[in-house]
Amino acid sequence: MGRIKVTRESKTGRNTHFKDTTTGRYMTRKQFVTSINAGNYPGYHVRTINGIKTPVSNPDKSSKNNLD
């Protein structure tokens, strides 16, 4: 299981809420983006998709750390 789990999506499928399975912290998309940019989640980065800052897992050969 990856460290971050998606807990809520919008009607269009955009991930909007997340849970850190290590700390138990729940975050909105904006909070998660801020934490990634602060260096708290080195396995993730931020992309701008359709003008919205979006958290994504860093590409690698493992599917275990993908956001799901």
Does residue 20 belong to any structural domain of this protein?
yes
Please name the helix (run of DSSP H) or strand (run of DSSP E) that holds residue 35, with its range, or none: helix 29-37
Mean pLDDT calculated for residue range 2-17: 93
Does residue 65 belong to any structural domain of this protein?
no
What is the domain extent for residue 26? 4-57
Does residue 26 belong to any structural domain of this protein?
yes
Span 45-64, pLDDT tens digits: 999 999 999 999 888 666 66
Span 20-39, pLDDT tens digits: 999 999 999 999 999 999 99
Provide the whole-model pTM. 0.85
The confidence score (pLDDT) of residue 21 equals 95
By three-state DSSP, how is residue 43 classified?
coil
Does residue 68 belong to any structural domain of this protein?
no
Dihedral sign computed on CA atoms, order 18, 68, 63, 58: negative
Q: What domain count does the chain have?
A: 1
The confidence score (pLDDT) of residue 67 equals 64
Does residue 67 belong to any structural domain of this protein?
no
